[in-house]
Amino acid sequence: MNTRLQDFDKLSNSLNDNLAIEQASLIQYHNAVEFDVLIVHERYRRKGVGSAALRDFCSFADKYRLVGLINLCDRYGTSEEELVVFYSRFGFVPNGNNEFPDLDGWTMVRPVQVKTACLD
């Protein structure tokens, strides 16, 4: 099994083993990884659980230079506007059907994060 697949499985398992997370679903593509579903149990919301999950997700995407995708879902009490603000803190932007025309407007995109060295 290759390292990327092992890391993906480790991330997926850690999310699903977290008792504060009601549901988490990841999908891996050739050049992208998608957080298809992230639902934190209501009593654990606004306590850093979702932020920690997104930091781990973004670290995985950065390590393998993958585009990050996340679906907006306001069925669980958080408005679409709040979700956009929350996900934006992690570098996600509304898709707008430009970069990924096959995705619907409910998907936010996090471009590949490239670390550059400072030049003096």
The residues, any chain, with a CB within 8 Å of residue 74's CB and separated by 6 or more, are: 80, 83
Residue 119 within a domain: no
Residue 68: predicted pLDDT? 93
Residue 116 within a domain: no
CATH number of the domain that residue 103 is part of:
3.40.630.30
Domain count, the chain: 1
pTM of the model: 0.83
The model's pLDDT over 80-120, given as tens digits with 9 standing for 90+, comes to: 888 889 999 999 998 765 555 555 557 889 988 876 555 54
- Specify whether the CB–CB gap between 98 and 89 falls below 8 A: no
Residue 52: predicted pLDDT? 95
Whole-angstrom Cα distance, residue 1 to residue 42? 36
The model's pLDDT over 15-74, given as tens digits with 9 standing for 90+, comes to: 999 999 998 889 999 899 999 888 889 899 889 999 999 999 999 999 999 999 998 877
Residue 33 within a domain: yes
